[in-house]
């Protein structure tokens, strides 16, 4: 029986959450939330952003990012360095534990991608990429319209 789009998205999201939880349990990441893992991933990708840059990228208030950063620092995933150019600004860096968490999270994304596409041909994968990019574009438009 074919599923409709809502059922497909629900299945993918639910399965991804289960995989993420299983992977977190197998590592030392079980005390991190999905949002914290996303934050660690962004810090790695943005290469030591300021708190303001990170808050903007995560689309959360600066006060919220400060609380999250404090928790990540307490658990030794990140550390802050005051900017040489502006003493009011701090940049966030990953510790070895943070790097390990970012790598494990990237592996999780890779594993989910592999599982989602293992029954697909290369051509089907290319089509899926095009369609998902269109979906992302639609979501971005929606986000812009509702944030103004």
Question: Model confidence over 71-96: pLDDT tens digits?
Answer: 999 999 999 998 788 888 889 999 99
Mean pLDDT taken over the chain? 89
- pTM score: 0.80
Question: What's domain 5-117's architecture?
Answer: Orthogonal Bundle (1.10)
CB-based contact 41:106 (threshold 8 Å): yes
Element (H, E) at 24: helix 5-26
- Comparing 30 with 112, the larger pLDDT belongs to 112
Mean pLDDT confidence for 98-108:
89
* Residues pairing with 90 in the sheet: 82
49 — pLDDT class (breaks 50, 70, 90): very high
Closest-CA residue to 41 (of 22, 27, 54):
54
């Amino acid at each position: 029986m074919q599923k409709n789009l809502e059922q497909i998205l629900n299945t993918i999201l639910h399965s991804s959450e289960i995989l993420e939880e299983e992977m977190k349990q197998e590592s030392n990441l079980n005390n991190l939330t999905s949002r914290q893992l996303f934050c660690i991933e962004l810090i790695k990708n943005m290469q030591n952003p300021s708190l303001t840059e990170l808050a903007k990228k995560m689309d959360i208030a600066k006060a919220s990012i400060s609380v999250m950063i404090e928790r990540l620092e307490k658990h030794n995933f990140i550390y802050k360095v005051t900017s040489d150019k502006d003493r009011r600004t701090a940049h966030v860096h990953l510790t070895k534990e943070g790097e390990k968490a970012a790598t494990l999270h990237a592996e999780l994304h890779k594993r989910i991608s592999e599982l989602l596409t293992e029954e697909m041909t290369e051509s089907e994968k290319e089509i899926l990429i095009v369609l998902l990019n269109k979906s992302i574009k639609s979501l971005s438009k929606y986000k812009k319209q509702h944030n103004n």
